[in-house]
Amino acid sequence: MAKVIGHTSGGPGPNAEIYAANPAAGYAVAVSVREVSEIPGPSLTAALVDLAGTVHARIEDSIDLTSLDPVDAITRTVAHVIERAGIDASAVRHVQLGVPGSYDPGTGVIHHIDVPGFTRPGLVDQISERLGATVEVENDVNLAAIAERERGVAVGGGSFTLFWFDEGLGLAIDLGGTLLRGARGGAGEIGYVPVGLPSADSPRSDLQDLIGGAAVIALGAKHGFVATTPGTVISQALASPGPQAESFLTAVAARIALGLAAVAGVLDPPLIVLAGEVAQAGGEELAQRVRAALHSTTPLDITIAVTGITDDAVLLGALDAGLRAVREGLINALRANVPVD
């Protein structure tokens, strides 16, 4: 787990050896699963990191998850990233999966995920057995919050809430570094929160219908901004200042503020981080409009910030979580005097 990196001299007796952690003592692989509904379609993004935190390889596999078994899909992608990194598969101690759904550790089942086969009971154990490594599953938005705490606007801060706007919606609740997952892993599935009362003329709608990716794309089209992803629609509007763009961005901000008002009323977090494709595209210009809309929606005083992550936040968070698991596993093994290969 440690290696000699040098020697000291100048004191009595033989030169002392200087030790540092051996980066090759253990590796973690992060895998981010994209939903079928997302553009450009289902894919798995993976990266491999060593004990020192250096990323050795990163890939994206476009996979037909409608026909390929998820165990085969995951193991194939993990094998690809290990091969790209040029290390032995036995050196991988932990695989961290990020999924657009809720993982119930009590039953081992992934819920609320639009990827064929991923709700199958026993799936995680099957993947772990095939890979010969520990496999953990985490909600993608929770992983984005981990990345935000490790390298974004929440570095060194206290508690915060991360509101994710992409094709889907999600909420991560960080309580001083501990994620609130709920009894069955469903905490933060805010897209299912009902909006308004159903009637004979108007079926029940939820927050996903109001501000999810499809809703942003449809609202943009009504204002003359046509694209296939919500982030691109936002970017088009910001690049085309005028009455139509202002009307569209104001409407988007008002919808976001409606969701934030519910979060503020329940949690009263010291900080809400806007993240995901829409937030990254909108940046501070959209955030300013959200602050104004929230101020007129609720009397609660909430600090809003835009994510500090410009890369794939889910994958970065999975790397951070996986690396932490490898380090803790090695330290626990040393404390228990268990030989570390």
Do 169 and 297 fall into the same domain? yes
Positions of E strands within the chain: 2-8, 16-21, 27-33, 43-50, 55-62, 92-99, 102-104, 109-111, 134-139, 160-165, 169-175, 178-179, 194-195, 205-206, 272-275, 304-306
Do 136 and 199 fall into the same domain? no
Do 131 and 202 fall into the same domain? no
- Residue found under tokens 């290696």: 3
As a whole number, mean pLDDT of residues 221-228 equals: 96
Range of the domain at 243: 153-306
Do 60 and 191 fall into the same domain? no
DSSP 189: -
- Residue found under tokens 């890369």: 311
Q: What is the pLDDT of residue 67?
A: 78
How far apart are the C-alpha atoms of 341 and 332, rounded to whole Å?
14
Confidence of residue 6 (pLDDT cuts 50, 70, 90): very low
Closest CA to 316 of 45, 8, 133: 45
Q: Has residue 146 been placed in a domain? A: no
Q: What is the pLDDT of residue 277?
A: 93
Closest CA to 302 of 293, 315, 312: 293
pTM above 0.85, yes or no: yes
As a whole number, mean pLDDT of residues 152-159 equals: 94
As a whole number, mean pLDDT of residues 166-174 equals: 94
Q: What is the pLDDT of residue 38?
A: 53
Do 191 and 73 fall into the same domain? no
What the block records as the tokens of 252 is: 């988007």
Q: Has residue 44 been placed in a domain? A: yes
Q: What is the pLDDT of residue 86?
A: 96
Q: Has residue 340 been placed in a domain? A: no
Do 161 and 257 fall into the same domain? yes
**β-bridge pairing 134-139 and 27-33:** unpaired
Give the chain's domain count. Answer: 2
As a whole number, mean pLDDT of residues 144-158 equals: 95
Do 160 and 130 fall into the same domain? no
Look over the chain and give the mean of its residue pLDDT values, rounded to a whole number: 89
Confidence of residue 36 (pLDDT cuts 50, 70, 90): low
Asked whether the beta carbons of 65 and 133 are under 8 A apart, the reply is no
Q: For 57-115, how does the pLDDT look when each residue is reduced to its tens digit (9 = 90+)?
A: 999 988 777 778 999 999 999 999 999 999 999 999 999 999 999 999 889 999 998 88
Q: What is the pLDDT of residue 56?
A: 96
Q: In this structure, is the dihedral angle defined by the CA atoms of residues 292, 195, 230 and 277, taken in order, positive or negative?
A: positive
Q: What is the pLDDT of residue 7?
A: 45
Phi then psi for residue 145, to 5 deg, are: -70, -35
Q: Has residue 76 been placed in a domain? A: yes
Q: What is the CATH number for 288?
A: 3.30.420.40
Q: Has residue 313 been placed in a domain? A: no
